[in-house]
Amino acid sequence: MKRSPRSIRSRHISRTNENSRFVINGLGGKRALSGEVIIGGAKNAALKLMAASVLFKNKVILENVPEIEDIKRMSDLLNAIGVVVSKKKTGVYDLRVGRRCSTSLLDDISKRFRASIVLSGPLLARFGKVSFPHPGGCLIGERPIDIFLDGFRKMGAQIKESKGRYLFTATGGTLTGTTIHMRQQSVTATETFMMAGVLASGETVIKNASLEPEIEDLAKFLIDGGASITGIGTTTIRICGGGLLTALSPHRVLPDRIEAGSYLILAALAGKDVKITNCNPWHLELLIELLRDSGVGIVVSGDTVTVTGEQGTLKSFDLKTHEYPGFPTDLQAPMTVFLTQTEGEGKVFETIFEGRLGYAEALASMGADIIAMDAHRIIVKGPSSLHGKTLESPDLRAGLAFVIAAIIAKGISIIHNVYNIDRGYDHVEKKLRAIGVDIKRLR
Ligand code: EPZ
């Protein structure tokens, strides 16, 4: 029987929480939160590690995988092409390439998250072809894929585009190592070329590579499986192509620095004694320094960052997003909420994505004093008293910024479209309730 697209879709898309909303009773500026927030594994590492399972000849085991919607989508996408993903227990997943593997990624799942594009590297490298639609993800800018197209062409792939789908075919069935000098640093392109290079013939050199810690985690996983990769943590990465990899032991996903940073900002605003545990403070260095300089009491010890409240008036500062180790664009929206509570004027300059300040209008409707300069810049004057509001979560990080704003505001806020927050934050209301936030999820 020929299956309709609808039945294929329903077989592979697991249940989502798309109709949820949060109801938050704000603290009205009081510092009342206390307790511990345990940080989960990094979304932007786990998704790539799952894609990398295609490069292995045996089963891989991933631990500390966050329980979030994007991981469900990646599991759906992999299962649909014949990579068997099994959840063993909370945070532990087995992945194994089945005997028959398709190289055609389903449209509607791929269009739901940007990380779907990283599968192009391992599939093309292993099977000599891959087809997929333009990847989806948060609406934070144009998000083109030209760097991917240029790099794969250089590695010897033929590229066709028709009816919104791309088809990449490796000439002679194998990619060829080459030098790819990226015109701009791109996290997912660095990861995709690194994975492709593992099975390409000869040496692949990625110049102007990204430096994000999640890339290092992926490289470690590949090297442990037998890949030859050098230069990680620098802007020139060299991969010497070889055969399929062999997983010898489980890989533990590194802690999510963006989740940790988001809770740290919340604690800086409303905490009297909040511990953020199971994180890597090295990856939060700049954030911690900015918060301390602003007047927040922070103690770092081992894998724990403790916020002990403010020390005097919080001072404003200017913020400019930058590739790692600069200030992460993924913490820009939560940090803007912080600036609404500081004394003075702070400029926020979003340099990575052109559509990532759209949430500012909603913050202004809560009482924040924000002036929009252009698509990349706003000025935040503070401190302002925020009041509860009904909001729509526009994307993952802005959604969490609204949650933070709602917690410090006076009165009730309702945040719709919680799916966007669930895409990247593990058990968000459970973690918030544990430190004293009055939050309910309504379905
Ligand atoms: C990754 O996106 C993350 N996503 C993003 O996380 C993060 O905001 C971003 O890196 C920057 O740190 C994943 O890892 C799945 P880029 P990515 O390619 O790789 C331009 C979150 O909330 N560009 O490094 O897609 C692009 O438009 C998110 O978890 C091209 O022009 O970002 C941007 O201006 C959202 N052509 C810049 O490069 C290309 O072919 C950097 O983007 C590719 C990118």
pLDDT at 150: 97
pLDDT tens for each residue of 191-223: 999 999 999 999 999 999 999 999 999 999 999
**pLDDT, position 299:** 97
The annotated binding site for UDP-N-acetyl-alpha-D-glucosamine is made up of: 114, 330, 352
- Please say if the pLDDT value at position 141 is more than 80: no
* Domains by residue range for the chain, with CATH: 5-40+256-442 (3.65.10.10), 43-252 (3.65.10.10)
pLDDT of residue 188: 97
**What sign has the CA pseudo-torsion 385, 389, 393, 394?**
negative
Mean pLDDT of 11-39: 85
Provide the residue type at 332 as one letter: Q
Q: What is the mean pLDDT of residues 285-302?
A: 97
Q: Separation of 222 CA from ligand 1 center, angstroms?
A: 22
pLDDT band at residue 143 using 50, 70 and 90 as cut-offs: confident
Categorize the per-residue pLDDT at 332 as very low, low, confident or very high, splitting at 50, 70 and 90. very high
Average of per-residue pLDDT across 281-310: 95
Q: Is the pLDDT of residue 9 over 50?
A: no
- Give, using CA atoms, the residue closest to atom 9 of ligand 1: 187
The angle subtended at Cα 362 by Cα 359 and Cα 366, nearest 5°, is 140
| Residues near 271 by beta carbon (within 8 Å), at least 6 away in sequence | 31, 33, 34, 307, 309, 435
pLDDT confidence of residue 12: 54
Residues 374-426: pLDDT tens digits?
Answer: 999 999 999 999 999 999 999 999 999 999 999 999 999 999 999 999 999 99
Residue 309: both structure tokens together? 């409240």
Residue 4 predicted with pLDDT over 50: no
Residue 267 pLDDT greater than 80, yes or no: yes
Q: Name the closest-CA residue to atom 6, ligand 1.
A: 330
For ligand 1, atom 21, name the residue with the nearest CA: 330
| Secondary structure letter of residue 15 according to DSSP | P
Q: How confident is the model at residue 134, as a pLDDT?
A: 87
Higher pLDDT, 62 or 99: 62
Q: What DSSP letter does each residue of 63-96 carry, written as one string?
A: ES----HHHHHHHHHHHHHTEEEEEEETTEEEEE
Candidates 193, 213, 184, 207; CA nearest to 324 is 213
**Proportion of the chain in helix, strand, coil states, percent, rounded to 5:** 35, 30, 35
pLDDT for 6 = 40
Go through 399-432 and write b for each residue having 16 or more CB atoms within 10 A of its CB, e for each that does not. Answer: bbbbbbbbbbbbeebbbbbbbbbbbbbbbbbebb
- Mean pLDDT is lowest, of 49-63, 134-148, 329-343, for 134-148
Percent of the chain with pLDDT over 70: 95
| Close Cβ partners of 266 (under 8 Å, ≥ 6 residues apart) | 33, 274, 334, 404, 407
What mean pLDDT comes out for the span 74-79? 95
Question: pLDDT grade, residue 357 (50/70/90)?
Answer: very high
Instruction: Please compute, for residue 81, the number of CA atoms within 13 A of its CA located in the half-sphere on the CB side.
Output: 30
Tell me the three state secondary structure of residue 382.
Answer: strand
User: What pLDDT score does 19 carry?
Assistant: 77
> Is the pLDDT confidence value at 8 over 50?
no
Residues in the chain: 443
DSSP secondary structure of 313-380 = SPBP--EEB-STTSB-GGGHHHHHHHHTTSBEEEEEE--S-TTS-TTHHHHHHTT-EEEEEETTEEEE
DSSP designation for 427? T
138 included as an active-site residue: yes
Q: Which amino acid is at 321?
A: T
Nearest to 221, CA basis, from 189, 250, 186: 250
Residue 148: pLDDT over 70 = yes
pLDDT at 11 over 90: no
> What are the pLDDT digits (tens) for 211-266?
999 999 999 999 999 999 999 999 999 999 999 999 999 999 999 999 999 999 99
Tell me, in angstroms, the distance from the centre of ligand 1 to residue 182's CA. 13
Q: What pLDDT score was predicted for residue 144? A: 87
Given ligand 1 and candidates 120, 235, 352, 425, which is best to mutate, with the most ligand atoms within 8 Å of its CB? 352
Does the pLDDT of residue 140 top 70, yes or no?
no
For residue 101, the one-letter residue type is: C
How far apart, in whole angstroms, are the C-alpha atoms of residue 48 and residue 186?
14
- Kindly indicate the confidence band of residue 312, based on its pLDDT and cuts at 50, 70 and 90: confident
* The CA-based dihedral angle spanning residues 439, 303, 261, 399, taken in that order and rounded to the nearest 10 degrees: -40
Give the residues surrounding ligand 1 with Cβ less than 6 Å away.
43-44, 47, 114-115, 138, 141-148, 184, 186-189, 329-330, 352-353, 396-397, 424
Q: Ligand 1 mean position to 189 CA, how many Å? A: 8
195 contacts 122 by C-beta, under 8 angstroms: yes
Stretch 131-156: mean pLDDT: 87
- Per the prediction, the chain carries an average pLDDT of 94
Q: What proportion of the chain, given as a percentage, has pLDDT over 90?
A: 88
